[in-house]
Structures are given as C-alpha cells and as structure tokens.
A and B are shown apart, each in its own frame.
Chain A
C-alpha cells in the first residue's frame, strides 16, 4: 500500500517526474520534496508521467493543485501524461481536465511546452 516512488528526469528545459505506486497522505511529502527541488532549481516546466501510478487520494491531488499554481505563477506548468483509466477517472470526476492539461503520451506534453 505504501509503495511509492518519484524520479526526476529532464528533456531539454522540461522536467519529467515519474510517479509510481500509491500516492496518499503518507507518501505525498515525497512528491512535495520532488517539486520543491524543481522550484529550487528554477525548473517550472514539468510533465508528470503517471504511467505507473496505481492510486491517488485527495491528499495526492492536493499536492498537484498546490504546485500547478506555483509553476504557473513562474511561467511554467504541470502537465499530466500516460494516466491509467482508473486514475484518470479520479482526476476527471474532480474536474481537473477542465483546468489542467492531460496527454496520452509524455512526448506530446513535452512538445506542447516546446511550442510555447
């Protein structure tokens, strides 16, 4: 249940976070750390690859909400990609797709950043 892992990669000016496992109130701080590190490094363009994310709780959703605002205030954004159907449904129910960008593939999200 608590298996969780975040890894950061980069593709040009875009940082990619691979978030794996179960994201809940107990594992959320790890994700926050990853975002804080990106902010410290001045990297505000982030693609979150959720290919291996199995579950997200309200606490996990809250982390994304908070950091998307910070990234946008600094001229960047957080874009989501590769979500499993069940995970996407949670985001969808909450109305996230109306506010944030979701892509089937990570490269589409990176491309979108580079077009700007």
Chain B
C-alpha cells in the first residue's frame, strides 16, 4: 500500500513537471508559427498558453517551497536570488536581441523568458506560502480573487495593444488587482512566529526585496524596452503584477518586522517556555532514570528564565538532598541552600523571591544577587525545592516567576511519578524474591507423613508472608532408628531460604552415618560456623527414636524446648546447647548436652519453632510457653493431628487479625507401642 502511494506521488510530481514542459513547448511552438501578434484569437491562445505554463511551473515548484517553509528565511533568500536574476535578465537590452535576427538570438530570448517565467513562478509560490502560513481561517478566497484579477488584467493587456481605445478596462482591472494585492499584503502573521535573530535578518532582507522587486516591477512597465513584453505582453503584465504585489508585501513585512522587534524576545521566551513544558510533559510519561529527569528539569529551568544557575533539592522523608545542579558546583549549592533553610527564608508553600542578599553573610562570598526558590508540592505534600539564581539584583521579573512556578509544578509531578515507578519496581522485585523463597521452602520440606513403625506422626507448617526460615525433616537411620529434626534459620526471606537448603543438605548427609544427636549437631555447627555470615545462626533440635524400645535421645542447639506429654503431665526439656553457627566447635561441643527419655505408651513428643510461642495479638502480647503448655496438658487423648489442629486453632483465636510474623511449625509424634503389639496379636 505504502509503495503504491509513494509511486503515485512520485509520478504525480513527474507528471507536473511533464505538464509544465509541455505547455512551455506549446507556447514556444505557437510563438514560432505566429511571431507577430496578428489576430485576437492567436494572441489569446498564445497568452493563455504562457500563463498556463506559468501556473504549471508554479504547481511543480510548490512542493519544494512547501517542504522548506518551516524556515521562512531560507525560501526568502532563494526568492531574492531569483528576483535579482529576473531583474538582471530584464535589463538586457531588447534592441541588442532583436537586431540580430537569427535563430540563436531567438532561442536566447526564449531561454531568458523561460528563466524569468520559472523564477517568477518560484517567487509566486513563496508569496503564496507566506500568505497562507499561520492563518487561522483559510483566506483562499482573497488569494484566488487576486489571482483571477491578475490573470484577467494580463490577458486583456495581452490581447489588445496599449493604444486600444477601451484602455480603461485594462487600467481598471489592474487597479482593482492592485487594491486586492494591498489588502492581501497584510497577511504577515508568520512574522510573529520566527525567532528574534531571524526577524533581524528579515528586516534586512525585506529592504533588499523592496529594492529588487520594486525595480523589477519598474522594468515591466517600460513595455517598449522589455523583450518579455515584446514576446508576450500578458506574461509581462502578469510578472509585473506579481512583483508589484511582492514589493507591497515586503514593505508591509518590513514595517511589521520592525514593530515586532521589541517584543521578539518575549515571544521567543514564551515559545521556549512552552516547548520546554511540553518536553517535560513527555518526560513525565516516560519511565526513566531519576537523575536524568532532575537534570533535565534544572537545565530547562535555567534556559527558560535566563538565569546563571539552577539546582534541585528533594525532600523525601524529611531529608533534604541536592539531586541536580546546573552551572554551579554542588558544594556552593549546598552551602546556599542550607543557609537559606537555616535562616528560615524558604517558604515550603509558596514561591520565595530573595533580592537583597548582600545583607546575609553567607551570600557575600557567592556571586548571586537574586534567588528564587519554588517549592515542589504535590497533593499538599512538599517533596523538594527548585532553586534559580541570578547575578543581577532584582534579576527576576513576573514572567520569570510564572515560568519557574509552572516548572516547579511540572517537576513535582514528574518526580513523584518517577518515585512511584521506582517503588513499584522495587516492590515487584521483593515479591519475586519472596515467591522464590517460598518455592525453595516448599521444595525443602518433606511431603506427606513419614512411615515410622510404632509411631503416629503429625507435621504442620504455616508459612509467614515473609519466609521465616523454619525447617523440619525425618530421617531413617536403620530399621530401628529414626531421626527428627526441627530448625529455625535466623532472618527472613530469600537469604534464610538459602541457608535452610544448606541446613537440609547438612542433616541429610550426617544422618547417613551412625551418629548420636549431639554428634550430628556438633558437626552441623562446625560446617555452619564456617559458612554462615557473622549475623546468621540456626537453632535446631535433633532427636533419634529407637522404635524397638521407645528410647528418645535428643540434643538442642539454641532451639525451643522439647515438650513431653504423658497422660495429664507435661515435661519441658531444655538441655544445654548453643545455636548453630554462633560459637566455635570446641565451645559448642563442651556445652552441648544430650538427653534420653523413655517413652511410655501413648506419650507425645511436641517439637515446635518460636513462631508458636512468639505469635502476637493486637495488644502486642505473646502467645507464650504457658498457653501452649496448658493446651497440650489439657488435651486428653488427642491424636497428634488433632492436637496440632487444636494448637493452631487456639493460635489463630489468640492473634485474630494480627499478621503472622514468623513461620509456625509443629511436629508431634505419639509412641503407640502397645497398641501395635495388640494389633499384631
């Protein structure tokens, strides 16, 4: 589709060129066959042909003019050169050409006329472009009326000689055409939109235009001494009218540009302000680097208010920080800002203007005489200040203040936006990390219940929102001996999840060897002391149950007590033992105790993590050991699963809406030796 469109436009441009050439050639042929104006019909045809050729060229050239129209001075310089060329060609004596009546001179004349025709067509395009530039309502009618009058006047002048008795028709048509041309000359709105520097150039150019175009017009009036007039009176008339229009137009341009000069700077600044605000608006909607954003803000502010320096101070969580400086070093900016804040000169609600700065000691060393501080406020909250400084005293006018104010408002939105994006990225990152930590924990913990002879096991695990690092596992040493471990890694999140997987690996490999619980913990401590950082540790209880005789041997490394329920009595065992990874091997081994208890039929062993006893209610009370022990003690003949459910239910009743801060793990097993024996019988 795109290809065909392009093809169409290319051929269109080509076809325009072909049309222009065809009409030019037709005119040439007509002139060769009828060199002298004979009857009216022949004149009419040749004159219409030449004017059609003119408009064909204008149509063809319009594309080039229009593409360059964004810089009016460029196309004006082009038309000046072409205007000068036309002027030069017209000054060539027609006598010189006509006296040497041969083919070469005739062709030369045609070539000259042709160059004049094409050049004028270009100038005509420029005038047309300027006429339509920056017009709110499209004044096509005015321009077309002018064109029709020009054509009519030219054709009428072309058909009849100057000594024609109804001369007044030509004159009145010309007169009306000139009036319309003058009216159309006030279409100079585009001047307001060019920069001050360009206006100065324009002023100079329009003087040259007036001279060049005016003289060219003058030459077209001397019909006897002008070879264009000899060849085609209509073309001469038409060119004359266009140059007249151009002359009048540039007289108007000259005066308009002259009157615009004093206000040019203000307009330039407004334009810049508007463009900068638009740029800033674009910045807001884009995700970008915070530093880039604040640097853009200070740079734009500095440019727009024409000040020496600008800097930006952010105020997040009541901490003031200089984030961007433009044309001032950070130390100076900091010194000035701190002193201004300390002297209570900064209003966090409104724009502050400071002018007589000499009276402040801290300003004497700085080069600035006036400073404006605009607070950056959003949703009634201050998030920073935009500083601008000038070396002049009373350097800021009302326009500057308005501009800085507008910038500060935009900057506040942009900064807030960028912070929000930053936060949401950070939040997303943390959530991803938490997901990963949860996944690790899920994979590490045993699935389902272990099958241990004579033992009924229950394991419950309730993860906290931030992974708390709880771990439990079961190991089979041999047919008789089964291991239980419960552990809690210090810290939270992904880091504790990684340590947890290391701990699992350690216990997995140690339980392949015939060690006692104390020996296993001593070796685990040795490994963890080396691998953990200084701040991390692991608490654990490792127990081994002999499933033949019900002897439970265990050691505790800094972990919560081991509870032992027999009927309505409850024992809490806290054998000595330091947490894993805290102390060197020797010290750890020296202090570690190992206990052995003989389980009776129906006895329960309860292992848990501090997530149970440290669960809090809304009054910041802990669930505590006493509540836990009371529940266990009064649980009657509950199965491990039922007891686990009961504890968890009591926990949730206790903490209600209060969020769970740590993982909760409960491992309960019941020694069912006699039952099994009975069952076997």
Residues of A within 8 A of B (CB): 1, 25, 58-59, 61-63, 65-66, 69, 86, 93-96, 98-99
Residue in B533, B536, B578, B620 whose beta carbon sits within 8 Å of that of A95 in the complex: B578
Is B242 at the interface (CB under 8 A from chain A)?
A: no
Contacts of B503 in A (CB 8 A): none
Output the least CB separation between B161 and chain A (Å): 103
Q: Is the CB of B534 within 8 A of A66?
A: yes
Would you list 23 pairs from A and B whose C-beta atoms are within 8 A, ordered by A residue? A25-B491, A25-B492, A59-B490, A61-B537, A62-B490, A62-B491, A62-B534, A63-B535, A65-B582, A66-B533, A66-B534, A66-B535, A93-B561, A94-B539, A94-B578, A94-B579, A94-B582, A95-B558, A95-B576, A96-B578, A98-B576, A98-B587, A99-B582
Residues of B within 8 A of A (CB): 488, 490-492, 533-537, 539, 557-561, 574, 576-579, 582-583, 587, 591, 620, 622
Residue of A nearest to B560 (CB): A93
Contacts of A63 in B (CB 8 A): 535
A99 to B529, CA, bound (A): 14
Output the least CB separation between A22 and chain B (Å): 9
Q: Could you count the A-B residue pairs with CB atoms below 8 Å apart for me: how many are there?
A: 60
A62 to B469, CA, bound (A): 14
Contacts of A95 in B (CB 8 A): 557-558, 576-579, 582-583, 591
Of A59, A61, A93, A95, most B-chain CB atoms within 10 Å? A95
Output the least CB separation between A84 and chain B (Å): 12
Q: Is the CB of B591 within 8 A of A98?
A: yes
Of B536, B560, B561, B576, most A-chain CB atoms within 10 Å? B536
Q: Is the CB of B578 within 8 A of A58?
A: no
A99 to B537, CA, bound (A): 14
Output the least CB separation between B443 and chain A (Å): 22
Contacts of B560 in A (CB 8 A): 93
Q: Is the CB of A62 within 8 A of B539?
A: no
A58 to B533, CA, bound (A): 14
Residue of A nearest to B557 (CB): A95
- Additional A-B contacts beyond A62-B534, A93-B559, A98-B591 (10; CB < 8 A): A25-B491, A65-B537, A93-B574, A94-B539, A94-B582, A95-B591, A96-B578, A98-B576, A99-B578, A99-B587
Contacts of B537 in A (CB 8 A): 58, 61-62, 65, 94
Q: Is the CB of A58 within 8 A of B587?
A: no
- Top 4 closest A-B pairs, CB basis? A95-B578, A62-B535, A58-B490, A66-B534
Output the least CB separation between B220 and chain A (Å): 89
Contacts of B558 in A (CB 8 A): 93-95
Contacts of A1 in B (CB 8 A): 620
Output the least CB separation between B44 and chain A (Å): 97
Output the least CB separation between A85 and chain B (Å): 12
